[in-house]
């Protein structure tokens, strides 16, 4: 496996069994995204805020790999549904997942899986190739998020204006930042 998390974990918790290690990594990934969800800038013209979640999803997927990355984001989603204030603005509950931002939240799980799958194939090892899994993950998040937002708003054009166009520049910055951070972390571990 080429992901960073197992190396960091093995050095931090050298005597922990495999399943416990996985549980800890999954929970830490979920908490990481929950913290980044609180970095929020509400926009007055859309129900979708700017948050740090996407950056977290990109890093968690690449660092934990496909299965643990998806499990981590699935855990994040479930903990938010059951009442922990994990979503943007400390929101929680099923109504958030079936609301305007629900498609993005579901997309996080799928994106983490795909990013992890591509990372397991070594694509996150350099700035040039790290952009590929992060771009794929970002596209999945947009596909799921904008599609569901179109259902909620009753219009694809409204969903594109409220859930895609205002976020392109910020997500491009997050994508580049994530691709810079992950290979640098690999060099620190080496």
The model's pLDDT over 119-171, given as tens digits with 9 standing for 90+, comes to: 889 876 777 787 899 999 999 999 999 999 999 999 999 999 999 999 999 99
Which residue carries 């903990």 as its tokens?
79
pLDDT for res 21: 85
Tokens of 169: 């520049």
> Alpha-carbon distance 186 to 149, whole Å?
37
CA angle 111/130/57 to nearest 5° reads 30
* Architecture category of domain 5-189 in CATH: Orthogonal Bundle (1.10)
For the chain, domain boundaries: 5-189
pLDDT (0 to 100) of residue 81 = 97
Q: Rounded distance, CA 162 to CA 156, Å?
A: 10
1 pLDDT tier (thresholds 50, 70, 90): very low
Condensed to tens digits (0 to 9), the pLDDT of residues 54-93 reads: 999 999 998 898 999 999 999 999 999 999 999 999 999 9
Quote the CA–CA distance of 127 and 181 in Å, as a whole number. Answer: 9
CA 21 from centroid of its chain's CA atoms: 20
SS3 (DSSP) at 2: coil
Pairing of strands 40-41, 50-51: antiparallel
Q: What average pLDDT does the segment 34-48 reach?
A: 95
């Amino acid at each position: 496996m080429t992901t960073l998390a197992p190396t960091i974990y093995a050095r931090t918790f050298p005597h922990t069994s495999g399943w416990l290690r996985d549980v800890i990594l999954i929970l830490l990934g979920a908490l990481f995204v929950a913290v980044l969800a609180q970095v929020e800038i509400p926009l007055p013209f859309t129900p979708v805020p700017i948050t740090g979640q996407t950056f977290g999803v990109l890093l968690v997927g690449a660092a934990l790999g496909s299965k643990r990355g998806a499990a981590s984001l699935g855990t994040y989603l479930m903990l938010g549904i059951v009442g922990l204030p994990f979503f943007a603005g400390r929101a929680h509950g099923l109504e958030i997942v079936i609301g305007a931002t629900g498609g993005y939240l579901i997309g996080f799980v799928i994106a983490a899986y795909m990013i992890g799958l591509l990372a397991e194939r070594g694509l996150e090892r350099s700035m040039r190739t790290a952009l590929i899994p992060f771009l794929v993950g970002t596209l999945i998040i947009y596909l799921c998020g904008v599609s569901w937002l179109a259902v909620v708003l009753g219009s694809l054009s409204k969903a594109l204006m409220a859930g895609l166009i205002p976020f392109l520049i910020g997500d491009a910055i997050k994508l580049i930042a994530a691709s810079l951070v992950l290979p640098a972390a690999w060099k620190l571990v080496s």
